[in-house]
A and B are shown apart, each in its own frame.
Chain A
């Protein structure tokens, strides 16, 4: 199973699309590793600088409709090769969300007010996420402040995370 813990990158925007996560011009690459330097290169968000804001971050927390647009699995892969295996948002575009679980990664939805609380409490501070996968619980921590948030994913998504992705699961079961 992948690692779902670490420092959080807060992206305060809706509708962050797949072209912003990884521009099409890099889709000529045929290895995942080659995508590493280009993650969020074209993200259109004031105050964001991928070179200084990304290093060391293992988790993304963002607003609604993350990953809309293209079917390119290069978007989760660009996250994966940067050791970001989990995105938490109000909701996700379908294909992106499925791609994440298909890779054994997690795209976890939380209620709008919970996301708002995460932004208001932790954004702009150095915040760590700890994921209790079996207990379906996140713990957000900054300094002495800590917040526990339960999460829900389907049994199917859970089995994909445990299997390490859809290929092995499907080949075993169908």
Chain B
């Protein structure tokens, strides 16, 4: 019987099998941010274990609230800063260099096919877009990861989502993943890796694959995984070119992290996306999904474009295509948070920031920002946000607020119209 990508990664990283189907696996990278790491750092200190398993394999960023907004967040940042300095971490990103972790780390080339990665952040599943096993964990797992370079997981059962058909105009990776989640339900993939496959995936860019894998957790998935291919190699080439004589050689090496043709899946979900339309969530769970045209012009107060789901340059381009030459409705405020400094700089060069500002958007620095209601862009009671983020829980973006998840193009269209509407009306 063949193996899935996740099974191959586990087999090559297993250091122990303490009981039943529990595997302790070796980690290739541990990612850290300032919300879940400081308590781990303090606990390690108090245990007399103020050290790291490998200073080159820990990547740290301040991203959720940055620059600090008050004394408490300043303290969190300070703990991270001192830790990175004391333990001589090779890669630490502070104000001026920092961006949303799941956009910044791939951009820096820190993720490779076959890697095992953990982070104290549920959307760590994003990195599976590169054919890696990447999972969100709590602070204790993070602490052990920092200290020992290992983490424990159940043997990964894999749920295959096979996407075929032709994507219609105005339909983006965000629409696809929201549709998938609506089919699986919010716990349809619990304790499973979701492997995305099919002709649609082959045609997606790395950025789009990251959008897809980012939301695997919203169906309960441990990780989303895309098989590595030419697109993966092209994206990684600047970082790997010294290790391979050609892209073909890299591709051949990475093909060891493809599922076997006779691999066993616990479930296969086949979806033809040809008839898929732009969609949005309408409740407080990410599996409550409707076509935007069925939203009866539901009004919005705020548009938020950014986050680890949809704050990358392609997302900004898609929104700008809708916004160009248009203005936000007078009843709507718009916030753009480019995910990383690189994205911000590219958006400036391409004239995208001008398009957003001409439309009336406030452009903030790269940060997680409004997504989880910790920083700027928090909603007031009863307010509604059209958002490109990944989670619409009750009160997520501010107590009493409502979040509708959608693609950057749909969010931009909602900003112009003042209500949720079809972005295709604004696309040439």
Contact = CB atoms under 8 A, between A and B. Distances in A.
Interface string A123-151: 00000000000000000000000000000
Contacts of B76: 28, 30
A24 B73 CA distance: 12
B264 to A, nearest CB: 20
B29 to A, nearest CB: 16
B139 A73 contact: yes
A103 B65 contact: no
Contact of A20 (B20, B140, B394): B394
Contact of A28 (B15, B65, B186): B65
Bin chain A's interface residue count.
Answer: 35 or more
Bin chain B's interface residue count.
Answer: 35 or more
Nearest to B222: A94
Interface in B8-36: 15-16, 18-20, 22, 24, 35-36
A96 B136 CA distance: 10
A75 B15 CA distance: 29
A169 to B, nearest CB: 9
A71 B36 contact: yes
A96 B217 CA distance: 12
Given A24-B373, A93-B190, A167-B143, A173 B136 contact: no
A159 interface: yes
Interface stretch (B38-46, B234-242, B273-281, B317-325): B38-46
Q: Among B64, B138, B187, B217, find the residue whose CB has the most chain A CB atoms closer than 10 A.
A: B138
B200 interface: no
Contacts of A32: 39
Contacts of B357: none
B16 A102 contact: no
Contacts of A76: 138
B152 A156 contact: yes
B394 A42 contact: yes
A165 interface: yes
A93 B36 CA distance: 18
A166 B19 contact: no
B49 A171 contact: yes
Interface stretch (A1-9, A52-60, A62-70): A62-70
A154 B20 contact: yes
Contacts of B70: 28
B140 A99 contact: yes
Closest 8 CB pairs of A and B: A73-B138, A99-B138, A155-B19, A102-B140, A28-B72, A65-B187, A71-B136, A73-B139
Interface of B: 15-16, 18-20, 22, 24, 35-36, 38-39, 42-43, 47, 49, 64-65, 70, 72-73, 75-76, 79, 119-122, 124, 136-141, 143-144, 147-148, 150, 152, 186-187, 190-191, 217, 220, 222, 284-285, 372-374, 391, 393-396, 399
